[in-house]
Amino acid sequence: MVLAVDCSRDGWTGCYPVTPHRFKTQGLSPNMQAVRWHPPSYDIRVETIPTPEIKHPDDAIVKVKLAALCGSDLHIYRGHAGVDKIHTCGHEFIGEVVALGSSYGSNVEGRPKLYSTLKVGDKVVSPFTVNCGECHVCRLGYTARCPEGALFGSPALEGGQAQYVRVPKAGGTLFNLSNPDTWSSALSSHDKEKALTGLSDSSLLMLADILPTGVFAATQAVNHPKVLPVVTGRPWPQCLSPEATTEGNEISFTPEDRILTIAVIGLGPVGICATIGLLDVVATRQIPYRIVAIDLLEARREKMKAVFAAIDPSGKGDGEFVVLDMDAAKAQVKKWTGAVGCTAILEVVGHADALSAAYDLVRAFGVIVSVGVHGAPPMPFTGRQLYNKNVSFDFGRCPARAMFPPAFDLLVKRQDVFGGVGQPASLIDRIVNFEEATESYRAFDKGEVGKVIFSPWK
Ligand SMILES: [Zn+2]
Ligand SMILES: [Zn+2]
């Protein structure tokens, strides 16, 4: 998820059932430290609260090794989210399983594999929302909207910026990094295992949200049916079916027609991950491209430039890549395409102004993919405007559980940018302890620091 002003309509109030079962969590100290938000706004406190316990047989308790601060934590921080409940913040965490409910065993029939394989001591990373892994919605891969889902670090579910966190439906939700055979990958089992030994925890933590969300945005854009004529070289509607003949068509494509022109609006951590994901797709599939990455802030543009420079040539293919502010970007797209506009736009801000700009930049029969969490203001265009441009939209939260396998593969491939901390091309600025949590929220909110990670036991 990415920064916006208000996500009260975003549905974080999951419908995870409250059950009467309670199981004592053995061997853990009764209290822990947690980063808590207090109403109405800008009030972050590090507090001692009871250590979470297993409440339902499907629960796991995770000892948090690292937890990240994310742009979307700022919705509540600023008091824009209509929340009045004190709660533990954070939806990005990595750690170790320290307790499991009674659903877990050696041979659990008919349930996700983790109910049989997850053990105390396993290293896990969690997607930012819970999902059951057992319903129609989860089976289709739309795990972000599981009817039993809930968002960590919201009034519905205590977050991961704590020494321990309770994970409901953990057998459907978690990724077991101690058992790489529990997810698919383009890498062989051996290569996956070898890669895992070389990945730092701060790098693996990107799999909780920012990397899958970025890959999700890029994937939706490049695979959208409206983009197919450009990437297949076959016109609409023959592009939709490989077996459809184009014999007899009078018009043939020029090389120019085959260039994918994409704008990425918003270069926070998710926007940068989306751009890296996009570059990887065009490089892998050898799609000629022109990409303009846009942000109003110079510091973010400089970060994007440093990231692009650090990416191995094999990860950025053959095309033009520029990083600009909005006015310069509009001029650049005009220069590239005349009056036509971009094939697709990745909107990674979550603000009406960004959507307006996306509409201006997109061509007719273009695609706007939006992974920004949008707030209360109405959509900044009329039905007539959308009709006039035949615009397609893809909105919404990333199914991070489903996107984990391709995100993991990209994390392994792109250690040239995802591996570092505090370098010009790093997405993570610093790792701090909880004593610096209050100040980190303040500085992050003011844009004085980039992505911050908390180390709860330091
Ligand atoms: Zn996040
Ligand atoms: Zn489900």
The tens digit of pLDDT for each residue in 112-159 reads 999 999 999 999 999 999 999 999 999 999 999 999 999 999 999 999
Separation CA 319–CA 330 (nearest Å): 18
Amino acid at 82: G
List residues, by chain if needed, whose CB lies under 5 Å from ion ligand 2.
Answer: 131-132, 135, 138, 146
Handedness of CA 435, 437, 438, 442 (dihedral sign): positive
- CA 206 – ligand 1 centroid, Å: 9
Nearest CA-CA partner of 278 in 329, 229, 227: 227
The answer to whether 162 and 156 have CB atoms below 8 angstroms apart is no
- CA 277 – ligand 2 centroid, Å: 26
Q: What are phi and psi of 272, to 5 degrees?
A: -65, -40
- CA 168 – ligand 2 centroid, Å: 12
- CA 209 – ligand 1 centroid, Å: 5
Q: What's the chain's length in residues?
A: 458
Q: Domain residue spans in the chain?
A: 31-209+399-454, 214-243+252-395
**Superfamily covering domain 31-209+399-454:** Medium-chain alcohol dehydrogenases, catalytic domain (3.90.180.10)
pLDDT in tens, the chain (458 residues): 444 333 333 444 343 333 333 444 668 899 999 999 999 999 999 999 999 999 999 999 999 999 999 998 998 999 887 889 999 999 999 999 999 999 999 889 999 999 999 999 999 999 999 999 999 999 999 999 999 999 999 999 999 999 999 999 999 999 999 999 889 999 998 999 999 999 999 999 999 999 999 999 999 999 999 999 999 999 999 999 988 887 877 778 999 999 999 999 999 999 999 999 999 999 999 999 999 999 999 999 999 999 999 999 999 998 999 999 999 999 999 999 999 999 999 999 988 999 999 999 999 999 999 998 877 678 889 999 999 999 999 999 999 999 999 999 999 999 999 999 999 999 999 999 999 999 999 999 998 899 999 999 99
CA distances from 324 to 327, 330, 349 (A): 8, 9, 15
| Ligand nearest to C-alpha 268 | 1
- CA 141 – ligand 2 centroid, Å: 9
DSSP-based three-state secondary structure for 363: strand
The answer to whether 366 and 351 have CB atoms below 8 angstroms apart is no
The answer to whether 5 and 373 have CB atoms below 8 angstroms apart is no
| Ligand nearest to C-alpha 150 | 2
Which stretches within 224-268 are classed as H helix? 228-232
Other beta carbons within 10 angstroms of residue 156's beta carbon come to 19
CA distances from 327 to 265, 324, 330 (A): 12, 8, 5
Separation CA 204–CA 223 (nearest Å): 26
Alpha carbon of residue 101 to chain centroid: 28
CA distances from 274 to 205, 262, 266, 348 (A): 16, 12, 10, 8
Amino acid at 415: Q
- CA 211 – ligand 1 centroid, Å: 10
Q: What CATH topology corresponds to 214-243+252-395? A: Rossmann fold (3.40.50)
Separation CA 420–CA 307 (nearest Å): 11
Separation CA 38–CA 237 (nearest Å): 54
Provide the token pair at 16: 């995870």
Beta strands 123-126 and 129-130, pairing class: unpaired
Nearest CA-CA partner of 369 in 218, 149, 173: 218
